[in-house]
Copies of this chain bind each other. A is one copy, B any other.
Amino acid sequence: MSGNPVPKRSDTVYQSLRRAIIEQALQPAMRLPEDTIGEQFGVSRTIVRQALNRLQMEGLVETRPHHGAYVAKPTLEEARDVFETRRCLEREVVRKLVERVSVSGLDALDAHIAQEDRVRDGPRRDGPRSIRLAGEFHVVMADLTGNKVLARYVSEVVSRCSLILAIYSQRHSSDCAVDEHRRIVQAIRDNDVAAAMQIMDAHLGAVEARAALVEDPSPDLKTVLNRYTEESAR
């Protein structure tokens, strides 16, 4: 009856796959056969399918009937939708935090930024870990609002943004991001709603701009062919 005594077998698979996708270990459009994954994790296909279904609803994987699951490969349009929705949600997060964040909440944010700094100054500054931490900062902020629904949505769009950046951006260059995180926290600490929202918007705009600069790098041969098959099928 307590919180979660049994983490559920599928949760482990889910989280592992999620991290692997976000950290770009599993690249977009890569196939995810149930057998292979199940064999790797030592679980049955039933478990794997549960994890894949969850990831599909989050937009991190896509499936085609009788074709199985792939790592999602968002189009530029989908990417724009995700970023737009993310800005909308995070504005609300900032607004709420300025209103009612606790001291311990601000401490948690500081601690997270410190961690980002440590990783940034470490051996691999733009490594997978750095990518994940940059996203998690926003998730921590959303959690601090106390609004579970809002936090879940933010977590989702942040994940998808990581995937999008994995496709459309060569380097993450998270250096400036950490500093922007710091400035956001400062504005919240100063109870300055306008500044906090403005910085957050600029921050997300910068992230989106990084993505928009580069057109789809991997040639869309497969996608193009698919489009043609679809048209001939009509």
Contact = CB atoms under 8 A, between A and B. Distances in A.
A78 interface: yes
Interface in A72-105: 78, 81-82, 84-85, 88-89, 91-92
Contact of A78 (B1, B54, B148): B148
B2 A234 contact: yes
Given A2-B233, A2-B234, A150 B84 contact: yes
A124 interface: no
A118 B2 CA distance: 49
Contacts of A6: 65
A12 interface: no
Q: How large is the interface on A (under 10, 10 to 19, 20 to 34, 35 or more residues)?
A: 20 to 34
A229 B84 CA distance: 43
A57 interface: yes
Contact of A88 (B2, B78, B150): B150
A230 interface: yes
Given A1-B230, A88-B88, A230-B1, A81 B148 contact: yes
30 contacts: A1-B230, A1-B233, A2-B230, A2-B233, A2-B234, A6-B65, A8-B65, A50-B53, A53-B54, A54-B57, A57-B57, A59-B149, A78-B148, A78-B149, A81-B147, A82-B149, A84-B92, A84-B147, A84-B149, A84-B150, A85-B92, A85-B147, A85-B150, A88-B88, A88-B89, A88-B91, A88-B92, A88-B150, A89-B89, A149-B157
